Amino acid sequence: MADRNVDKLPAPHLESSFSLEKALASRRTLRSFVGGPLTLHDVAQLLWAAQGISNLDGLRTAPSAGALFPLELHLLAGEVEGLAAGLYRYDAKHHTLAPERKGDLRTAVARLALDQDWIGQSSVIFVVSAVCSRTAVKYGDRAKRYIHMEVGHASQNLLLQATALELRSAIVGAFDDDHLRELLGLPEDEQPLILLPVGH
């Protein structure tokens, strides 16, 4: 599927000249994009910001109740330099992408998001989903509450990283859950929670 090997994504930068304070002050939901590809490095940095490994013990950039990590992060690549259009799953442990489906799904996802056409004009769409049973095994009925907290942390990390990379981004919660799960080929126990379109 890929035009280049994605077994190894570019390593994340741990420092930049764009301060956290500036990212917080600048972050806005922007629903228009001018087109053009993202670099693979930008995509790798965004994936890492949302769910990357941040220490030697395997902990991640976003907190997780009981370190059970119920979230799954998917990349719908449309325009990424050196990466074929398609659906990929992020493997945080190895900082790699696993191809899941060929083809550009951005327009189809925009349709399932209540015909919000602007979503399809982004360069990529990140989909955050969750496997509730991973958290429920320890926390029972409170698992959903903890997962909603976790997806908020991961999403904000990605949005702030997009701002620091001087990219536009938005958060979308309005979509047809069942049809999106079907389009992405997610298993029954994996629920899509949020869409994060990113572009120039």
94 — phi, psi (to 5°)? -110, 0
The per-residue pLDDT of the chain, averaged, comes to 94
For the domain spanning 20-106+114-124+140-199, the CATH number is 3.40.109.10
The answer to whether residue 4 scores a pLDDT higher than 60 is no
For the chain, give every domain's residue range: 20-106+114-124+140-199
Tokens of 63: 């907190």
Helices 40-51 and 143-164: angle between axes, nearest 10 degrees? 150
Tens digit of pLDDT for each residue in 78-135? 999 999 999 999 999 999 999 999 999 999 999 999 999 999 999 999 999 999 999 9
- pLDDT for 7 equals 64
Question: What does the block give as tokens for 199?
Answer: 């572009």
User: Any idea which residue has 């509730």 for tokens?
Assistant: 132
* pLDDT at residue 5 tops 70: no
Distance (Å) of CA 107 to CA 64, 87, 113: 32, 13, 10
| Each residue's pLDDT tens digit, 7-24 | 679 999 999 999 999 999
- Backbone torsions φ then ψ of 137, nearest 5 degrees: -60, -25
The pLDDT assigned to 58 comes to: 87
149 Cβ contact partners less than 8 Å away, ≥ 6 residues apart: 65
